Structure 1
Amino acid sequence: MILDAAEEIFAEQGFSAARIDAIAKAAGYNKSLIYQYFQDKLGLYTEVIIRADQLGDKMLLDINGELLKDDLLTSDGAKFKQFLEKLIHGSLQFLLDHPRYLKILSWEMAEEWKTWNQITYLPDDATMFYELAKKAQMNGLIRADLDPKVFPSIVLNNVYSSIQSYSRFKPFLNTSNSADSIAHYKDQVARFIIHGVMEPSLLK
């Protein structure tokens, strides 16, 4: 209950403006208990990030666990493309299902990741995606002129920004929140990212 309340208030107010008093009131607990379990506001924020990251890791394993075990993932163009499609679709859906986490990321982006870089726990998605991209590039799957270190940023930031923009452009897109409309949008985002990072010869 404390983490739920903290996630909601961090999402709505950002780390700097959030107050332990407000989180304690929303959770229905005394603030001294929060300090007992989490030490301070940054400790509580860290636990919110850890929980969200663990949910994201579970999503990744649920949708791409078999491909991640496949030795051919970074040498077979069709399998690597399938991996990216599932990753992008799953990440977009994850943020649609967890809008508070998207808001926390938005606060962090707006504040140049100032608080994120203070926490002792850092999600290590970038390293895994970099290693995959490096191997895929060696096997001719990723564009030769793309720095593999930039690959995680390209994929993840396009996912974040696409979801942030979805509500803004819905009237222009003449779309609704229907499953078909969202599926079409996710497919378009995936196509854009994949065509940007993979070798064009593999996408014909």
Structure 2
Amino acid sequence: MELIAPTESKKSSRTYDAARTKGIILDAAEEVFAELGYSAARIDGIAKASGYNKSLIYQYFGDKLGLYTEVVKRADQIGDQITGSVITELLKNEHLITDPIAFRQFIETMTREMYGFLLEHPRYLKILFWEAAEEWKTWNQITYRPDDITQLHELAIAAKRNGILRQDFDPAMFPILVMNVITATIQSFSRYENVLGKLDSPQMRERTIEQIAKFVIYGVMEPSSL
């Protein structure tokens, strides 16, 4: 059996500890940014929540904006892992931009995947709403820019060209409309819980996904293609 040199073992341990430490700090930072927003969040508070001193946070992430960037980056990458593979696979369907049934199924699946991810990651959803409240000022400063609209925009352009999308609909609005209907629905649910019921009910979850998908489908698709 090959023995690992002590120096290599120590190096591996240090690498693992650094990754684990960064993960703990990012968890704490995500929680603080979600509760307070970027402007009100303080490194002191994040350090206290993580159990590490702020000098270590600066060492790993540079400054508050660098830390915030990594929080957004991690959440976006998790989203890609969960929803990206499913959506990417659907986008490979050569009939997607020519077959209204395939396009409708794509909207339904995309709605389900996005809704599920945001429902299961409420802190990231809160961060998005803080950004909206602050006019996306911080979002537009970070070096990591999540690209969640380009593919959908291009898809919408091709679908409109083939008569699947309404001719009076702007394809650039397609990804924006889908994302905002989903996020606004989840964010508003607790306000209308007395009328709609609890969001965490499996039956309500399925019903909500179905209603959002229908709203998008009948709003953007050409009536003759439905």
TM-score, normalised relative to structure 2: 0.86
Give the AA of the match of 1:189. Answer: I
What RMSD in Å do the two structures reach over aligned CA positions?
Answer: 1.3
Contact in 1 for aligned 2:97/2:103 (Cα 8 Å) = yes
Q: How many residues are paired up?
A: 203
Question: Which 5+ residue runs of structure 2 have no aligned equivalent?
Answer: 1-23
Deviation at 1:175, TM superposition (A): 4.7
1:57 aligns with 2:80: yes
Contact in 2 for aligned 1:73/1:80 (Cα 8 Å) = yes
Give the AA of the match of 2:225. Answer: L
Tell me what 1:35 maps to.
58
1 CA distance for matches of 2:81 and 2:25?
22
Tell me what 1:103 maps to.
126
Tell me what 1:25 maps to.
48
Deviation at 1:77, TM superposition (A): 1.0
Point out which structure has higher relative CO (alpha carbons under 8 A, 6+ apart). Answer: 1
Tell me what 1:182 maps to.
205
1 CA distance for matches of 2:91 and 2:197?
37
TM-score, normalised relative to structure 1: 0.95
What SS does the corresponding residue of 1:124 show, helix, strand or coil?
coil
- Give CA-to-partner distance per residue, 1:115-137, whole Å, 9 cap, x none: 11111111111111111111111
What SS does the corresponding residue of 1:116 show, helix, strand or coil?
coil
Between Structure 1 and Structure 2, whose CA radius of gyration is higher?
2
Deviation at 1:70, TM superposition (A): 1.5
2 CA distance for matches of 1:108 and 1:70?
34
Question: Which 5+ residue runs of structure 1 have no aligned equivalent?
Answer: none
1:196 aligns with 2:219: yes
Tell me what 1:148 maps to.
171
2 CA distance for matches of 1:58 and 1:119?
21
Give the AA of the match of 2:33. Answer: F
Deviation at 1:26, TM superposition (A): 1.0
What SS does the corresponding residue of 1:148 show, helix, strand or coil?
coil
Q: Percent identity?
A: 58
Deviation at 1:184, TM superposition (A): 0.6
Contact in 2 for aligned 1:67/1:79 (Cα 8 Å) = no
Distance 1:121 1:174, change over 3 A: closer
Question: Which of 109, 112, 124 is equivalent to 1:89?
Answer: 112
2 CA distance for matches of 1:98 and 1:67?
23
Deviation at 1:176, TM superposition (A): 5.6
- Give CA-to-partner distance per residue, 1:25-64, whole Å, 9 cap, x none: 1111111111111110000000111111111112223433
Tell me what 2:102 maps to.
79
2 CA distance for matches of 1:187 and 1:169?
18
Question: Which of 91, 94, 97 is equivalent to 1:68?
Answer: 91
Where has structure 1 moved over 2 Å in runs of 4 or more?
Answer: 59-66, 174-177
